[in-house]
């Protein structure tokens, strides 16, 4: 992980896994991602926050599934077709449930731009910046902010 954390957007190139939530494209550094798995059977956790969709059995490990859609305040959608982006963070396995997995993108530094103010605050708090691609904007999510923010909410 330490290696992963050292890679920030200022490095010359960044490899991210691109995925789609709603109409927007997001990316997480590939170094943070353990694997991507197809929709799984999920066990609901009663009484939990609404973005905690439940628990997944990943080869005997328990993974907590978080819906980014819900976290970003977008309209709820059935979780059944969600792809799972599995991330290991401080010994916790987390699955970010996204609508669609796109591709791995090599991003050049010159395309980077700070988070535009117009992005909704609900999302902006997890974003480290955006990359201008030819036909779209790719929003880079910051794993640590996603995690820490959840911690805050918890407290």
Partner 1 sequence: MSKEDELSQIVKDFLVESNEGITTIIQSLTVLEKDPNNEDLVNEIYRAMHTIKGSSCFFQYSKLEKITHILENLLGAIRDDGEKLTSNKVDILLEGTDLIQSYLSTIESTSKEPEGDVESAIKQMETLSEKFGFTLSSDLVLSEKLSKTDLSMEEVVNSDTAPVVEFEKEVVLPEVNLAVEKAVEPEVKEAVSVDLVEPEVLIDLDEGKVTDNITKKKNAGSKVLDSVVRVNVSLLDKIMNVAGELVLNRNQILQFATENDDQDLIRLASQLDIITTELQSDIMTTRMQPVGMVLNKFERLVRDIAKQNNKKVELRIYGKETELDKTLLEAIKDPMTHIIRNSVDHGIELPEDRVKAGKKELGLLEVKAYHESGQVVIEIKDNGKGLSLDKIKAKALSSGVCSSEELSNMTNKQLQKLIFHPGLSTAEKVTSISGRGVGMDVVKNNVEKIGGHVDIDSVAGVGTTLTLKIPLTLAIIPALIVKGQEEFFAIPQNSILELVRIDDSSKQSIEYACDSEFLRLRSELIPIIRLNDLLQLGQENETLEEVQEDNFACKNIVIVNTEGRVYGIHVDDILDTQEIVVKSIGFHNKKESVFAGATIMGDGSVALILDILGVAQASQLQSGTNKEDVDLNDSKNALTDTQSFLLFNLERHSESIYAIPLVLVNRLEEFDSTQVEMIGSQKVVHYRGGIMPLIFTDEQINMKEKELRKNKVYNVFVVNLHKKLYGFVVENILDILELETNVDSSVVDQNNILGSFFHNKRAVTVLDIYSMIDSQEFTKQNQKDIVSEKRKESILVVEDSPMFRKMGVELLKDNGFTVIEAIDGQDGLLKLKENSAIDVVVSDIEMPNMNGFDMACEIKNTEATKHIPMIAVTTKFSDKDIQRGKDSGFKYYLEKFKKEDIISAINSVLQKAG
Give contact residues for partner 1 (rule: CB under 8 A). Answer: 41-49, 52, 54-57, 59-62, 64, 66, 92-94, 150-151, 154
**Residue 45 C-beta: closest distance to partner 1, Å:** 5
**Residue 30 C-beta: closest distance to partner 1, Å:** 22
CA distances from 134 to 25, 111, 118, 131, 145 (A): 13, 10, 20, 10, 27
| C-beta closer to partner 1: residue 15 or 48 | 48
Sign of CA dihedral 31, 33, 34, 37: negative
| C-beta closer to partner 1: residue 93 or 124 | 93
| C-beta closer to partner 1: residue 34 or 105 | 34
- State how far the Cα of 6 lies from the Cα of 93, in Å rounded to an integer: 20
Write the CB contacts of 132 (distance below 8 Å, at least 6 apart in sequence): 111, 113
In 30-89 the beta strands, taken as DSSP E runs, fall at: 33-37, 52-58, 61-67, 83-89
**Residue 73 C-beta: closest distance to partner 1, Å:** 17
| C-beta closer to partner 1: residue 93 or 101 | 93
**Residue 36 C-beta: closest distance to partner 1, Å:** 19
């Amino acid at each position: 992980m330490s290696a992963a954390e050292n890679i920030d957007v200022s490095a010359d190139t960044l490899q991210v896994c691109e995925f789609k939530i709603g109409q927007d494209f997001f990316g997480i550094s590939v170094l943070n991602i353990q694997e991507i798995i197809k929709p799984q059977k999920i066990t609901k956790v009663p009484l939990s926050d609404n973005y905690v969709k439940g628990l997944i059995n990943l080869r005997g490990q328990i993974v907590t599934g978080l819906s980014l859609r819900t976290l970003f305040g977008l309209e709820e959608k059935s979780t059944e077709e969600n792809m799972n982006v599995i991330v290991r963070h401080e010994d916790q396995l987390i699955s970010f449930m996204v609508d669609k997995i796109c591709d791995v993108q090599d991003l050049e530094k010159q395309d980077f731009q700070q988070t535009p103010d117009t992005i909704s605050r609900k999302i902006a708090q997890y974003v480290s910046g955006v990359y201008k691609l030819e036909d779209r904007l790719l929003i880079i999510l910051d794993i640590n902010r996603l995690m820490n923010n959840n911690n805050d909410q918890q407290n």
